[in-house]
Every structure is written in structure tokens, then in C-alpha cells.
Amino acid sequence: MQRARESRSCTVTVIVYAMAVSYSILVSRFEGGIAMIWVGGPVLAARLVETPRPLWLRTLLWCMLVNVVITGCIGLGWGPAVPLAVVNVAEATGAALILRVLLRSCWPEDALELVAGYYLGIGLLVPLGGAALGTLVLPLIVPFHGAHSFFHWFIGHAVGLIMAIPVSLTLSRLAGGRERFEHEEVVSSVLQLAVMALLTYAVFTQTMPIALLLPMALAVCVAWFGNALIATSLPVVLAMIGGRLTRAGYGPFQLLDLPLGDRMQLFALYAAAATLCVLPLVCERAARHRRRATLVMALD
């Protein structure tokens, strides 16, 4: 029974990782370059946090093989497929190790320290290391445009890690029974997601820069008053809808006289900023609820 459960967990992780890698390549990669927002790494990192350490090696090897096949078929080709897979899986492993340490040492008493470590370790150090390795390895195999590609890689992977890990981790814990989602929250949660989708569409079908503050304000309000899963999902909705419209030539970022790739990277930073605003509120609110529950139990 235990072996069957472990095999099922590994299979689910590999399938979800394959879907995330395919989505990143098909949706956020254009003009023959690298993906503008990489979500494969954060999805794998979140699953590794919830996976027992003895299963890591098998999971990582399968994910690396999947990454090689997908990159060879629909990405940059078979030449860079292996080094790209190695770097991508190494990034996810580093992010998972840092997140496990942060959760073990900081949660729930030191929520702000957790957020600071998350930003610096996972949002800065891990993608910097990945971008440096990619910049060193890829020019030996395919044409690579030095500093320009380095920054595209760094920003795309940093944005993906910052935005996708909280949602992926919460969904993984819900699937594993470690978190609960109350039925009475379903209607309000669907409404909040719908409002964010409509608001994002409205903001990115016109060109007033001040309107970019509206999705941010909605995400902050939900983070303070609503469900943590929905609060961390709102920046993802913003990125999916706003990114497609920006790429299609709509929205406030079209006012900038920049190449499409640079505009997409600026949009990615904007979407990541929404997560940076949401995450401290979500963590502090959860920590406060945990402390209140502990106090009530102590008084009882």
C-alpha cells in the first residue's frame, strides 16, 4: 500500500510538471527565445516540499526526462534539451530546499521572516544561479544573446517562482488533505476570481497606466479579508489574462517604446509585484489566526 501511494505521488508530480513545462513553452515563449514566465520549476518545487525525501531522486529523474522530451519537441530543440533540463530541475530542487528550511524554522511564529527569506532565497538567489548556469552552458550549444538572455531568464524564472509556488503548495496540500477548503467559501471564491478576470480584461483593453493599480488593490483586499488560496491565485489570473492581452498588443504597456520581449518582461514584473503585495498579508493573517487558536486552546 505504501509503495503504491509513493508511486502514485511520483506519477502525479511528473504529470503536473509536464503540463506546467508545456504551458510555459507554448504560452510564454516567442521569437525563438526562452519562456517569459517559467512555471515548471515552482510547480515541481511545491510538490517536492510535500514529498518525502526518499522519493526525491526518482521524482527528479523522471521530471528531468520529461523536461528533455518537451524541450526537444516543442522548445529550443534537442541540442540544449539536456542542459536546460538539468538547470531547471536544479532550480526547483534549490527552491524546495530553501522553502522547507523556511517553513520549518519560521512558520508560523515568524511570518515576516518567512516572506523575507522567500523573496531573497527563492525570488533572487535561485533564479540568479539558474540564469548564470544557463548563460554559461547554452552558448556552447545554441546561439545565446549574453546579458539580454541572462536577464530574460532571471526575470522569467524569478517571476514564476514568486507567483506559482504559493498556489502550487496550497493546492498540493489540499490534494493531500493537509489543508481544507470550506464549502461555504466556494461561491465567494468563484466570484472573486471572476471579478479579477473581468477587471484585468478591462484594464488591459485600454491604455491608462493608472488603471494598473486596480488589480493590485483587489488582490490586497482579498488577501486581507478572503481565502489564502484565492488571494494567491489572483496574481496568477492577472498574469494569464493580462499577459495574453499584452502580447497581443493591448494594454498600458504598449505605451512603452520597447521590443515585445522587454514589454512582456515588464508585465511579468508587474504581475509578480501583485504577489509581493499579497504574500505578506496572507502569511501574517494565517500566523495571527494560528496564534489566536493556540491561545484559545491554552485558556480552555
What's the residue count for the chain?
300
Element (H, E) at 86: helix 81-106
CA distances from 125 to 40, 136, 181 (A): 18, 17, 33
Exposure string for 194-228, b = 16+ CB within 10 A, e = fewer: eebeebbeebbeeeeeeebeebbebbbebbeebbb
Residues 6 or more apart in contact with residue 204 via CB below 8 angstroms: 241, 242, 245, 246, 250, 251, 252
Walk along the chain (300 residues) in steps of 10 and give the mean pLDDT of each run.
75 93 86 78 93 90 95 85 92 95 80 87 94 79 65 90 91 75 78 96 94 94 88 93 92 90 89 91 79 61
pLDDT tens digits along 200-258: 999 999 999 999 999 999 999 999 888 888 999 999 999 999 999 998 999 999 999 88
| Burial (CB count within 10 angstroms: exposed 0-12, middle 13-18, buried 19+), residue 113 | middle
Long-range CB contacts (within 8 A, 24+) of 242-245:
242/200, 242/203, 242/204, 242/215, 242/267, 242/270, 242/271, 243/27, 243/28, 243/36, 243/37, 243/267, 243/268, 243/271, 244/27, 245/201, 245/204, 245/205
Distance from C-alpha of 256 to C-alpha of 193, rounded to nearest angstrom: 29
pTM, two decimal places:
0.89
Phi, psi of 204 (to 5 degrees): -95, 10
Give residue 99's pLDDT.
93
